Structure 1
C-alpha cells in the first residue's frame, strides 16, 4: 500500500469523501456531523493523504493542526472495496508517525457514539487512544465521543 500526500483533485478521492459524508448523514443527526467536505479539507491547517493499492484508492485520512503541540485526526475512511484489509490501521499508523515527526504532544479525534462507529472506536483504542472530554471547539454531544493519545 502506498500512502501519499493528496491535493484532493482526483475523481476517486472526491467520490470517497462524498461517500464518507453520506455515511455520516445516515448515522448521525445533522448537528452532530463533524466530517469535512473537499473545500474544508483544502484548508492550510489540514494535511490530507490517500492510500492506494496499485491504481485503486483504498482509503484516506487527514491531520489538522490545532496548535503547535496538538493535532486532530480527520476524514479517516476506507473504500468499501478494501474493508477489513488493514487500510485504516495503516493510515492511522501513518498519521500518528507524522504527528510525532511534527513534534505534537497530543493527538485527538471525534467520532460517533452510535453502533456504526464501534469498529472505529476499537481501532483507535487498540492504538492507545483513550476517551476524553471535548477538545478544541467541540462541545458535549451524546452522538459524539472524543478520544486522545499523548505522544
Structure 2
C-alpha cells in the first residue's frame, strides 16, 4: 500500500468522495453531515492523502488544521471493495504521524453515533481517541460523537 499526498484531481478520488458523501447522508440527517466537499478539501489548511495499490484507490483521509496546535481528522473513507483490509488503520497511522511531524499537540474528530459508525469508533479508540465535547465550530448534536487525543 502506498499513501500519498493528493491533489484531488483524479476521477477515482471524485468517485470515492461521492461514495463517502452518500454513505454519510445514508447514516445521518443532512444538518449533521460535516463531511467536506471537494472545495472544502482544497482549502490551504487541509492536507488530503490517498492510499493506493498500484492503480487501485483503496481509501482516503484528511487533516484540517484548526490552529497551531490542533487539527481535525476529516474524510476518512475506505473504498467499499477494500473494507476490512487495514486501509483505514494505515491511513490513520499516517495522519497521526504527519500531525506529529507538524508539531501538533491535539487531534480531534467528529463521527456519527449509529451502528454504521461502530467500526470507526473501534479504530479511533484503538489509536487512543476518547470521547469529548464539541470542538472548533461544532455544537452538541445527538447525531455526532466527538473524539480527541493528545499527541
TM-score past 0.5 threshold: yes
Deviations, residues 16-70 of structure 1 (Å, cap 9, x unaligned): 0000000111010011000011111101110000100111000000000000000
Give the aligned partner of residue 104 of structure 1.
104
- Normalised by the length of structure 1, the TM-score is 0.99
Please give the alpha-carbon distance, in whole angstroms, between the structure 2 residues aligned to 1:104 and 1:73: 12
Please give the alpha-carbon distance, in whole angstroms, between the structure 2 residues aligned to 1:107 and 1:25: 24
Name stretches of at least 5 consecutive residues in structure 1 with no aligned partner: none
1:85 aligns with 2:90: no
RMSD: 0.4
Give the aligned partner of residue 39 of structure 2.
39
Name stretches of at least 5 consecutive residues in structure 2 with no aligned partner: none
Which aligned pairs between 1:111-126 and structure 2 lie closer than 5 A? 111-126=111-126
Give the aligned partner of residue 127 of structure 2.
127
Give the aligned partner of residue 7 of structure 1.
7
Q: State the number of aligned residues.
A: 151
* SS in structure 1 of the partner of residue 147 of structure 2: strand
- Normalised by the length of structure 2, the TM-score is 0.99
